[in-house]
Amino acid sequence: MSTPQGKVMMNPNDVVMLLIDHQSGLFNLVKDMSVSQLRNNVIALAKVAAMLKIPVITTASVPEGPNGPVIPEIQQFAPHVKYVPRQGQINAWDVPMFVKAVEETKRKTVVMTGTLTSVCLAFPAICAVQAGYKVYAVVDASGNWSKMATDLTIARIVQAGVIPIDTFAVIGELQQTWNRPDALDYANLFGEHIIPNYRLLMESHKKAQEASGQK
Amino acid sequence: MSTPQGKVMMNPNDVVMLLIDHQSGLFNLVKDMSVSQLRNNVIALAKVAAMLKIPVITTASVPEGPNGPVIPEIQQFAPHVKYVPRQGQINAWDVPMFVKAVEETKRKTVVMTGTLTSVCLAFPAICAVQAGYKVYAVVDASGNWSKMATDLTIARIVQAGVIPIDTFAVIGELQQTWNRPDALDYANLFGEHIIPNYRLLMESHKKAQEASGQK
Amino acid sequence: MSTPQGKVMMNPNDVVMLLIDHQSGLFNLVKDMSVSQLRNNVIALAKVAAMLKIPVITTASVPEGPNGPVIPEIQQFAPHVKYVPRQGQINAWDVPMFVKAVEETKRKTVVMTGTLTSVCLAFPAICAVQAGYKVYAVVDASGNWSKMATDLTIARIVQAGVIPIDTFAVIGELQQTWNRPDALDYANLFGEHIIPNYRLLMESHKKAQEASGQK
Amino acid sequence: MSTPQGKVMMNPNDVVMLLIDHQSGLFNLVKDMSVSQLRNNVIALAKVAAMLKIPVITTASVPEGPNGPVIPEIQQFAPHVKYVPRQGQINAWDVPMFVKAVEETKRKTVVMTGTLTSVCLAFPAICAVQAGYKVYAVVDASGNWSKMATDLTIARIVQAGVIPIDTFAVIGELQQTWNRPDALDYANLFGEHIIPNYRLLMESHKKAQEASGQK
Amino acid sequence: MSTPQGKVMMNPNDVVMLLIDHQSGLFNLVKDMSVSQLRNNVIALAKVAAMLKIPVITTASVPEGPNGPVIPEIQQFAPHVKYVPRQGQINAWDVPMFVKAVEETKRKTVVMTGTLTSVCLAFPAICAVQAGYKVYAVVDASGNWSKMATDLTIARIVQAGVIPIDTFAVIGELQQTWNRPDALDYANLFGEHIIPNYRLLMESHKKAQEASGQK
Amino acid sequence: MSTPQGKVMMNPNDVVMLLIDHQSGLFNLVKDMSVSQLRNNVIALAKVAAMLKIPVITTASVPEGPNGPVIPEIQQFAPHVKYVPRQGQINAWDVPMFVKAVEETKRKTVVMTGTLTSVCLAFPAICAVQAGYKVYAVVDASGNWSKMATDLTIARIVQAGVIPIDTFAVIGELQQTWNRPDALDYANLFGEHIIPNYRLLMESHKKAQEASGQK
Amino acid sequence: MSTPQGKVMMNPNDVVMLLIDHQSGLFNLVKDMSVSQLRNNVIALAKVAAMLKIPVITTASVPEGPNGPVIPEIQQFAPHVKYVPRQGQINAWDVPMFVKAVEETKRKTVVMTGTLTSVCLAFPAICAVQAGYKVYAVVDASGNWSKMATDLTIARIVQAGVIPIDTFAVIGELQQTWNRPDALDYANLFGEHIIPNYRLLMESHKKAQEASGQK
Amino acid sequence: MSTPQGKVMMNPNDVVMLLIDHQSGLFNLVKDMSVSQLRNNVIALAKVAAMLKIPVITTASVPEGPNGPVIPEIQQFAPHVKYVPRQGQINAWDVPMFVKAVEETKRKTVVMTGTLTSVCLAFPAICAVQAGYKVYAVVDASGNWSKMATDLTIARIVQAGVIPIDTFAVIGELQQTWNRPDALDYANLFGEHIIPNYRLLMESHKKAQEASGQK
């Protein structure tokens, strides 16, 4: 559990994003957070990947069965996503094509999500650390079957060297600064998907300035 | 607290919808439910009003001050909305133009919301009952400053003869049947705004039928 | 909200049980209680209806769509159940064949459940009171989309004269006494479906008596 | 539980405020809300009484014993308060001088608090209704020993005809309008004592307008 | 649900206490409150009954089976208790000897508890109201199998005219005043059994006075 | 707390399962999760052990006393289980025959549960790590006397090198792939015992495909 | 955070128990657990120390001031306790006489509690680890001012090498086996103070065996 | 994550306090604790810094935009505070002037807060550890957008070597002893801002001593 060497914060140019098993059926099993927040957090990750040209790889577990289809927003908001099918493997890291897709990005920092957290996120996250990657597990963009299972999974992956993180922190760490041409896109990302109160602040702020100007 | 006479369910043609003080600043005070759910519930009410041509009246409390502007979705999704300004009155029912606007609809069933519940919903709801209306208070499309305050308000308004209700029930009561040409609009309303798990069911169902056809 | 006249407790021979919209899809929307407990509570009601030869009527809302099929245990454990199809009506009491089926039982005490509570239980419960029935709403055998919606619904139906009740109370009220030949069936019903700790008590009690005999 | 006749909202000129047993020792027993919020809610009531010249009567239960002294802010912020000592009576309404003090105000609307809610608020509230007063019980300015006890007390007092209310609603009902010379005092009352997020709104609004002016 | 006529507070000389089915097995089913608090609340009721010579009647449901024995503290602290056996009846009010025992006390105010609340308290409470008694249901000295079941039961019994109450309120209402020779016994009752923080206040108060004297 | 060397995921052929003190009396003490979920999680572990021929060892703490008998499902669903009696030792690892039974399996990966978690799971788990085993502690198939105790125990065992895990993750890790002849058995295992919503998905999926075929 | 070498479980003969600042005033600040449970957990530790002749050292922070006196049960149930006064130091480990008292026991395993956890437990616990002791922090026999503060403290002390533990685990680890002459004392300790449901099991078990014998 | 060498407790003379992004807008996003407690905890840190002449550095993220102004109490209670503006950087440690300001204090122990915790606290805290500082993160004086995000952040920063702590512990660790001339200032700090129950104790204690003196 030693601190990673070199720069301790993410370098957007070294990041690959793995969005695993975000399927409509599996989302119906989620009990540790609201499905609405989960879905929005995944959308926000897809959007920021598109904004920063971060490679995105998805996969799904038996999408034609009860697990259901991948939610369409990933393709919609990150059209550059690469989909890797599986032949039944539960751990995406057991799929050679999946690991190969990661390797081909030449990136060594993995931002990973997976529904359900205990399995679809935890298994490949632990394996990716073992394979030498710096791995961030975005637990609140994953979704799990019980709160107790999530608490156990956080403890397990931290013990294994995975870095636990939330959606807002991932995007803030990738954004780095508000002093950039697309800053408003980030503000909208936070306001529309992650922190609805932020949108309220933006609306109130704009109105206050308008009201001030009218005086 | 006698049971209302006549038909006990709402008649959509007798309903007027009053959406009171849904302002960005006030939404930042809400602690009894998620702001995201609240905003979506209000949007859903605006949409169903438009679908059923139910008159909608809004008002706001000092929108140029800290309370902030009315959220734009009401105007966006219910463009037929009538806005009644106030001169500082806290209780919208104290505003003659507001009461007159209600009266002019010739409708006697009021579906009412108000941010914050304890004040902006409770006060006019109690007054409207006193004025002879059948009043439904949509508590989960209102938002309050504490859970305890909401519990107290529900008890108070029920005692005063107001009918407490949730957003899903209001819309279901107005919709009446799935056997109508615009049934899909209702399904989308539930799935996109009120019950995100319902959207998951729709996605899974469609995929299951496609997968079945492909076999 | 006057106290019902005559005997205040249920008479099993006057009861008809209405189990409304217990469908696999709708169960996936339930957020106010555990789905496992909900399913077991419904099973327990079906079983007790069979034991006491109480008529059972079910219905479903568009079961071939996202709402999904009726859970099979109702038919399995109460084979005498009568199923009434609907043509899209949301409120089962809007279906003449459904009301007729109730009337044909000649019973005036209705024990009712419905998924989701706010709509599928609340609407027909209120209408049945209006129609002169004594109506018990078994809220914890219904399932709703939010806890706040359930709190609002309980307040609403009580205001309308419906009697709120839990599954354990319904069965205890129907059972009346442990001094009956089938008492063990009731104990098993509680232990297997409603109160898992009761099964533990039965197991421990038996073991304690065996251990005592071995001394 | 009939709706009170005449005007259904409070008339500030008809209100007398009874703040019962707000003592430092008793506050240490409070488990249904935060002591910080409770203390601030009581202060807010004292302040609004001073602003509107509403008579205030306090009393204490054995303040020299473990129950402790009355919190000093009542005297501090409502210096016109009248203190009525007791000779051990638990129910303040059992104290003739207390009832007499209420009668001498000639006011018929009672806004009442009491620590602990189950006893010190509930007992005199029920008696005051019986004596013909219109009684508002401010439950979140009272404090109780358990959440379950508060739920039971709300149900009990509503059944007895007491009107349950929260601190924010009381003050809003007394304030009536923002169109008054002392409006800022009310805004500060809400921001400093009841809803801390409101103060944040005021600060942000002011800054936004200043920033707008600087552009 | 009309307000009871005459004096609205309990008269200790008119009270009979019914403690129903407080059995070790059944206590193991309690999930709506802590078993420790429940047991202490029952003990406190037994003690206050002894202090005020209030008649106490107990009964048990099949105590030789899994439901287990009556907790011994009732007999220990209220040795004047009368035990009425049952022949399997679930509702104690169905047992003629039980009703007769109540009638023989000539008292018309019933303070009642029952484990589990939904059944063993609710059934006889509703029947006793029907039989003309003023009935207080001490919900936090009863214990139930789920929080939702307790919420439903409170709504049901209030609807039926039963007065809901908590243990602290019952004892405060019976005690009436601190100006009595046995006041310390009441203080100890609260401190040892109901509100552990009250005992801390007593200890701190005594120490503070001793420390003051030593100065 | 170094990451285990070699393959980081479980090898089913190296696993031995230790199910400790799952007794009816002890289950009555469980307060950190629902007893129903606990019992089902234990059953699921027994079933998967049988499916994968994983050796299972059980033991019990004074089963003829208040702790009660071992729940019968372990023997029922894993008939190959080996039972090791104890002579009063609290820590199963203090029993030489128990340790010997583990050693005789020649397996080095231990999946362990124990009721109550703080003691019956934590003590042998820590000892087994010390003895060189890779130890997985299935906390949600154990059951503890308080939530705080569970939080403390997770922190303690992680500090000692035990891997915390939930029931769903254990089975997913053992199953490895859906591409196996007995895949349906795994789906049923999840749906019937661990995640009731998964069963709903299966039912809805089947119905959707049937409905599609009928079109 | 390396695993301690040698035997990983406590040796009762090497344990010294430090019960820090269990004062009536400070107990009134506790918000992360029930005061009743806290007080009983401390009593249980005092009793087990007496049973196993484990040295006990207490101390208090300004007991003549608002912090209040040490609860009397420590002296009552562990009369061999040694009290070390302080001259205002917040961290007991800053008091040379306190450290000396620990050293004089010649024991190297410290079982420590402290009210409030964040300060009175955490500070000396971290220092004792630094001084070479093996330190167990009994968090649920300490009490803290907020749940968040407790979560933070557990994380902090684990990071510093302190072993977190709950009261039940401490006593189970010291007891080692039920096969000892004073086993019943341990059962009573659990049933009377720590796990009230255990007492219920004992009562039910005894009754079941008696009932069996009577058949 | 090795234990820091040398003295394990803070040395007030080596501490620099960094209060980051405590802005009115951002406070409106806080959902993991009450805003009232958060604001008071920050005030308490500012006050103790002034009392101990600890250098304080603040900064803000775009304070003229929706994030809002820095709360004025920091300047008010710690007038020696140094404010470092940013040019949009999200991570304060990315601002050379900010790092330089820290370095110029010549102090190596950092007590840090930041709104929101996941980003504004976590990022610079991790960087400061990397830069060789001993870093305390005061999580309950920071505020975050969700409870789950806070749980994840605590796990992340502990893994990175940051020491998690609460406000009360920071101040207690800096205060060291009650045996100091300004002890009352510390008592008031706790009572007015952090632990409102402590103020109640002080009031009750004073009253008890006065009452004792009057006897």
pLDDT digits (tens, 9 = 90+) for G13-39: 999 999 999 999 999 999 999 999 999
What three-state secondary structure class fits D30? coil
Burial class (CB within 10 angstroms; exposed 0-12, middle 13-18, buried 19+) of D83: middle
Q: Which residues of B touch F201 (CB under 8 A)?
A: 204
- Please give the pLDDT value at position D215: 53
- The reply to whether residue G208 touches residue C213, judged by beta carbons under 8 angstroms, is no
- Any CB–CB contact under 8 A between E143 and chain G? no
For residue F117, the one-letter residue type is T
Smallest CA-to-CA distance from B83 within B95, H186, E101 is with B95
- For chain E, the 3-state helix, strand and coil shares in percent, each to the nearest 5, are 50, 15, 35
Q: Is residue B102 part of a domain?
A: yes
pLDDT score recorded for residue A212: 83
Structural domain tally of chain G? 1
Would you say how long chain F is, in residues? Answer: 215
* Structure confidence at residue H2 (pLDDT): 35
In a mutational test of the B interface, the residue from A22, A194, A207 whose CB has the highest number of chain B CBs within 10 Å is A207
Q: E212 with H212: CB under 8 angstroms?
A: yes
CB distance E81 to E75 below 8 Å: yes
pLDDT per residue as tens digits for the range E191-210: 999 999 999 999 999 999 99
Q: State pLDDT tens for residues C57-100.
A: 999 999 999 999 999 999 999 999 999 999 999 999 999 999 99
Is residue B87 assigned to a domain?
A: yes
Q: How far apart are CA G159 and CA D150, in angstroms?
A: 40
- For C20, left (φ over 0), alpha (ψ -120 to 50), or beta? beta
Residue range G132-142: average pLDDT?
98
Q: Which helix (H) or strand (E) holds F193?
A: none
CA A203, H27, H30, A172 torsion: positive or negative? positive
C205 near G CB under 8 A: yes
**E7 has a pLDDT exceeding 90:** no
Of H62, H148, H160, the CB nearest to A140: H148
For residue D129, the one-letter residue type is: V
- Residue A212 touches chain H, beta carbons under 8 Å: no
Nearest to B48 by CA among B133, B136, B115, B111: B111
Q: Is E160 helix (H, G, I), strand (E, B) or coil?
A: coil
Q: Is the pLDDT of residue A121 over 90?
A: yes
Which of A47, A52, A29, A20 is CA-nearest to residue A138?
A20
pLDDT at residue F5, rounded to an integer: 34
In whole angstroms, what is the distance from residue A29 CA to residue F198 CA?
A: 7
Asked if residues F203 and A191 have their Cβ atoms less than 8 Å apart, the reply is no
Spell out which residues of chain B touch residue F202, defining contact as CB-CB under 8 Å: none
| Burial zone of A2 (CB within 10 Å; 0-12 exposed, 13-18 middle, 19+ buried) | exposed
Residue type, H104: E
Mean pLDDT value across chain G: 95
Separation CA F158–CA D27 (nearest Å): 40
C-alpha to C-alpha distance for E63 and D112, rounded to whole angstroms: 46
DSSP character string of F86-133? -SSBSSGGG-HHHHHHHHHTT--EEEEEESSIIIIIHHHHHHHHHTT-
Is the CB of residue D204 less than 8 Å away from at least one CB of chain H?
yes
Q: E212: pLDDT confidence band, cut at 50, 70 and 90?
A: confident
- Is residue B45 over pLDDT 70? yes
* Residue D47: both structure tokens together: 């302040």
Nearest to B197 by CA among H149, A38, C59: A38
**Residue F69 lies inside a defined structural domain of this protein:** yes
Residue F101 has pLDDT above 50, yes or no: yes
Residue pair F30/F145 in contact (Cβ under 8 Å)? The answer is yes
The rounded mean pLDDT for chain A is 95
On whether residue G193 sits in a domain, the answer given is no
Q: Identify all chain D residues contacting E164, using CB atoms and an 8 Å cutoff.
A: 152, 155-156, 159
Which position has the token pair 């926000």? A44
Task: Determine the number of helices (DSSP H) and then strands (DSSP E) in chain E.
Answer: 9, 6
CA distance, residue A101 to nearest chain D CA (Å): 47
Residue type, F135: V
- State yes or no: is B120 an active-site residue: yes
Q: Nearest CA to C117 among C136, C93, C138? A: C138
F83 - beta bridge partners? Answer: F58
Residue carrying the six token digits 């005992």: E199
Q: Which strands form H56-59's sheet, in the order they lie side by side?
A: H82-83, H56-59, H15-20, H109-114, H134-138, H163-165
Predicted pLDDT of residue H214: 67
* φ, ψ for residue B57, nearest 5 deg: -125, 130
- The answer to whether A21 and A67 have CB atoms below 8 angstroms apart is yes
Q: How far apart are CA H169 and CA G145, in angstroms?
A: 10
Q: Is residue C195, in this structure, part of any structural domain at all?
A: no
Dist CA C146 CA C116 (whole Å)? 10
Q: For chain E, say whether G35 makes contact (Cβ under 8 Å).
A: yes
- For every residue of C197-215, which 3-state class applies, written as one string? HHHHHHHHHHHHHHHHHHC
Catalytic residue among A18, A71, A111, A120: A120
Q: Could you list the residue range(s) of the whole structural domain that residue H57 is in?
A: 12-176
Which residues, in sequence order, are CB contacts of A6 under 8 Å at separation 6+? none
Q: DSSP labels for H9-76? A: S--GGGEEEEEE--BHHHHTT--SS-HHHHHHHHHHHHHHHHHTT--EEEE-SSTTSTT-PBPTHHHH
CA of E124, closest CA in chain G: separation in Å? 25
CB contact under 8 A, F3 and A29: no
Q: Shortest Cα distance from A165 to chain F (angstroms)? A: 19
pLDDT at B178: 96
Q: Which two tokens stand for residue F6?
A: 């070699």
Write phi, then psi, for D2 (nearest 5 degrees).
Answer: -70, 150
Distance of alpha carbon G52 from alpha carbon G75, whole angstroms: 16
Tokens coding H2: 């090795």
Using one digit for the tens of pLDDT, what is the confidence trace for H10-56?
A: 999 999 999 999 999 999 999 999 999 999 999 999 999 999 999 99
Give strand pairing partners of E35: none
CA distance A48 to F80: 53
| Omega before residue F116 within 30° of 0, cis | yes
Longest dimension (CA), chain C: 66
**Helical packing angle, C147-159 and B167-175, nearest 10°:** 60
Task: Give the distance from residue D53's alpha carbon to the nearest chain H alpha carbon, in angstroms.
Answer: 28
pLDDT category of residue F6 using cuts at 50, 70 and 90: very low
Structure confidence by residue, pLDDT tens digits, G173-214: 999 999 999 999 999 999 999 999 999 999 999 999 999 876
End-to-end CA distance of chain E: 58
- Calculate the dihedral angle through the C-alpha atoms of H146, H147, H151, H152, rounding to the nearest 10 degrees: -20
Tens of pLDDT, residue by residue over C153-208, are 999 999 999 999 999 999 999 999 999 999 999 999 999 999 999 999 999 999 99
d(CA B166, CA A53): 43
Count of residues for chain D? Answer: 215
Query: Cα–Cα distance between G110 and G130 in angstroms, integer?
Result: 13
Separation of alpha carbons G31 and G42, rounded Å: 16
Query: Model confidence at G6, in pLDDT bands (50, 70, 90)?
Result: very low
| F2 DSSP assignment | P
Indicate whether H144 belongs to any domain. yes
pLDDT in single tens digits along all 215 residues of chain H: 333 334 799 999 999 999 999 999 999 999 999 999 999 999 999 999 999 999 999 999 999 999 999 999 999 999 999 999 999 999 999 999 999 999 999 999 999 999 999 999 999 999 999 999 999 999 999 999 999 999 999 999 999 999 999 999 999 999 999 999 999 999 999 999 999 999 999 999 999 999 887 65
The verdict on whether omega for the bond into residue G116 sits within 30 degrees of 0, i.e. cis, is yes
Is E186 among the domain residues? Answer: no
Tell which residue, D205, G88, C30, has the closest CA to residue H180: G88
For F165-199, the pLDDT digits (tens) are 999 999 999 999 999 999 999 999 999 999 999 99
Region D142-168 average pLDDT: 98
Helix count and strand count (H, E) for chain C:
9, 6
> Two tokens at G106?
């010649």
D18 φ, ψ (degrees, to nearest 5)? -115, 115
Q: Which amino acid is at B102?
A: V
pLDDT score at A215: 54
Domain assignment present for F155: yes
| Cβ-contact B194, B202 below 8 angstroms | no
Banded model confidence at residue D212, pLDDT cuts 50, 70, 90: confident
Q: Give the CATH number, domain containing residue D161.
A: 3.40.50.850
Determine contact, residues C12/C109, Cβ cutoff 8 Å: no
Given the residues E120, E129, E137, E194, select the one marked as catalytic.
E120
Task: Give me the residues paired with residue D15 across strands.
Answer: D109
CA separation for the pair F98, F104 (Å, rounded):
10
Q: Is G90 on the interface with E (CB under 8 A)?
A: no
Q: Is G20's Cβ below 8 Å from some Cβ in H? A: no
Whether the CB of G36 is below 8 Å from some CB of chain E: the reply is: yes
| Residues of chain H found within 8 Å of residue A8, distances taken between Cβ atoms | 126-127, 130, 160
Distance CA B8, CA B165 (A): 14
| pTM exceeds 0.90 | yes
Cβ burial of F26 (10 Å; 0-12, 13-18, 19+) is buried
Q: What tokens appear for C1 in the block?
A: 């909200």
- Chain F positions touching G150 (Cβ under 8 A) are 148
Q: Which two tokens stand for residue H171?
A: 């101040």
Q: In the numeric block, which tokens belong to residue G176?
A: 């080692």
Tell which of H203, H205, H212, H214 to mutate to test the D interface (max D CBs under 10 Å): H203
Sheet hosting strand G82-83, strand order edge to edge: G82-83, G56-59, G15-20, G109-114, G134-138, G163-165
